[in-house]
Amino acid sequence: MSKLVTIFGGSGFVGRYIARRMAKEGWRVRVAVRRPNEALFVRPFGVVGQVEPILANIRDDDSVRAAIHGADAVVNCVGILAEQGKNRFNTVQQHGAARIARIAAEEGVTRMVHVSAIGADRASKSEYAKTKAKGEAAVLSAVPNAVILRPSIIFGAEDQFFNRFAAMTRLGPVLPVVGGSTRFQPVYVDDVAKAAVMGVLGQAKPGIYELGGPDVETFRELMERMLRIIRRRKLIVNVPFWAATIMGGGFDLLQTVTLGLARNGVLTRDQVRNLRRDNVVGDGRMGFADLGIEPVAMDPVLEDYLWPYRPGGQYSEIKESAKHLRDQE
């Protein structure tokens, strides 16, 4: 019988790419998620019965154990960018990761891949970064030979970065950014998936890998690149950190007083804290080169999925060709 991998968060942005690649490797794949009925799209990643979504709650030992039981490897992709309801940073990124790793060890699983993030730091003022670091420590404590991946900001067709800001360009002439001079090293989601698969297959030595693409750019430069691709002209306005902190606090307060009915999907104080620090691969860190992976550049991929945000959408090329013909007459 083929080997089995359990992927927590396997229907998410990164998890679905890992699930697809593991299916291609011939493994059976359990996609452990909170809402299996919303993850049925993963089934066609393999042959009938090869990829199956199952219910799992990372806050519950029995649920996690049931998802891991019989697995040869475990991948944890669960993480949140903002807190809401019971999904707190410490619950998900620290205690959830610790629970998965502890139970994986108890179940005899010898290979584990944990997806963290560049900037994970126990001394950080950001709860996101702090709990990412505590989650890593818990994983390594339970499974010392685990492979931990720290990607920079991840791009791809389903991302919440370029898609979000491209959508914002439809709302007005101004595109606000917080931390315009903060540097990022965007990494393609499928490159992260390749690294995760190598960890599962035992082709990557244990340890922490920081994953960044070939380009390092400031937040402002990334927005300029995005605007060129979607062929829109917008005034990029840098929001000072002090103003962003006040804005984030206001949105956080609104979410709190409405008991989560008004979700803060705009900007949180914790995100402002994170944006004060560069998000690039650190010197001397293991990375793609150690895995033999050549990371994909941004432009070819961005062109492939950002075109709907162009003023003419799928007809942009036709309109531009017509314009050139008129100019030549």
Domains of the chain as residue ranges with CATH: 4-156+185-214+278-295 (3.40.50.720)
pLDDT tens digits for range 22-34: 999 999 999 999 9
Distance in angstroms (rounded) separating the CA atoms of residues 186 and 161:
10
Between 314 and 7, the higher pLDDT residue: 7
Q: Which two tokens stand for residue 167?
A: 């959508």
Query: Is residue 214 predicted with pLDDT exceeding 90?
Result: yes
Q: Which two tokens stand for residue 28?
A: 């059976």
Mean of the per-residue pLDDT values of the chain: 94
88-97, 177-186, 259-268, 301-310: least confident range: 259-268
Sorted by sequence, the CB contacts under 8 Å of residue 147 that are 6+ apart come out as 111, 112, 113, 114, 196, 198, 199, 204, 206, 207, 209
Query: Is residue 326 predicted with pLDDT exceeding 60?
Result: no
pLDDT at position 270: 96
Q: Which two tokens stand for residue 196?
A: 């995760």
pLDDT at position 322: 47
Q: Cα–Cα–Cα angle for 307, 16, 97, nearest 5°?
A: 125
pLDDT at position 317: 59
Query: Is residue 86 predicted with pLDDT exceeding 90?
Result: no
* DSSP code for 26: T
pLDDT tens digits for range 105-117: 999 999 999 999 9
Q: In the chain, pLDDT over 70 holds for what percent of residues?
A: 95
* DSSP alpha helix (H) spans, 211-308: 219-230, 241-257, 269-275, 288-291, 298-306
pLDDT-derived band of residue 14, with 50, 70 and 90 as boundaries?
A: very high
Query: Is residue 161 predicted with pLDDT exceeding 80?
Result: yes
Query: Is residue 329 predicted with pLDDT exceeding 70?
Result: no
pLDDT at position 27: 98
How many CA atoms does the CB half-sphere of 108 hold within 13 Å? Answer: 4
pLDDT tens digits for range 113-132: 999 999 999 999 999 999 99
Are β-strands 111-115 and 147-151 bridged in parallel, bridged antiparallel, or unpaired?
parallel
76-90, 207-221, 283-297: least confident range: 76-90
Distance in angstroms (rounded) separating the CA atoms of residues 303 and 298:
9
